[in-house]
Amino acid sequence: MHSDAVDEPVGFEEYTVSSGVGSGTEHALYADRQGSVIWVTEPATGQVVAGYEYDGYGQLTQTAGTLSQPYGYTGREYDAESGLYHYRARAYDPAAGVFVQSDPIEFAGQQLNLYSYVKNNPIRWADPAGLESAPYATAAAGAISQNAVSAISSGLLFGAVWNIYHALATSDLALPSIAKSEPSDDSEDREEECLKILLAAEATAALLRRACYAYAKTKAAQQNCYRMFNMRMEQIMKEYNQCRGLDE
């Protein structure tokens, strides 16, 4: 199951050949700012059944759980047999950090190296079509415009969404919060550590936004999600400034 955004899988159903579609176990997917799937949960209980970590170019560096599912780096399908991700027009090798075919649109893709992946800068750029790099803000514009009213934070804590939030917050896979972290006293390291904590907190809010997208079906619930998301982001920025020593 996908949202209306590009490469945003939000869930899937695990079933055996004998059970058939509609009678299996449902799972929810959660992603980081790159759209890479990092957690899989059971919506009914919030239990985290799988977790993934990637390096900058998408190679898996750590996994938790044994669940097999197809979605990974930047939300694309991973072919375990070949070790490649399929980006529509081309296949991508995360171990090498390059596409395995040249760009079909050649130099119109604005790269001199026709095999290069997102200008060798996967933190800033995305290429969902396998044709041309675009800033994440541009690549995600569809998701932002279509999903803005269903943005989520820890303010929407009911039913399955609360179960998911609680499980993620207490799981060994959970991202750190700014308030609970102790940054270094070394000024050279403090700024970098605070930024990492900020990104982790924002990622947690983004994960819960996806939960809201899947479960908030009424306009009133969506409006509440949006209101609480704004409140949570204000708190995150306040904690970030405290971490940096700008708001003692």
- Distance (Å) of CA 94 to CA 57, 76, 120, 181, 187: 6, 12, 12, 31, 35
> How far is it, in rounded angstroms, from Cα 15 to Cα 89?
30
The residue written with tokens 């001199």 in the block is 112
The residue written with tokens 């070394």 in the block is 186
* pLDDT of res. 76: 92
Answering whether pTM is above 0.85, one says no
DSSP symbol at 175: P
pLDDT tens for each residue of 72-109: 999 999 999 999 999 988 999 999 999 999 988 888 76
pLDDT tens for each residue of 124-148: 888 888 888 877 655 554 333 233 2
Residue ranges in the chain modelled with pLDDT below 70: 3-6, 15-23, 109, 136-189, 196-233, 246-248
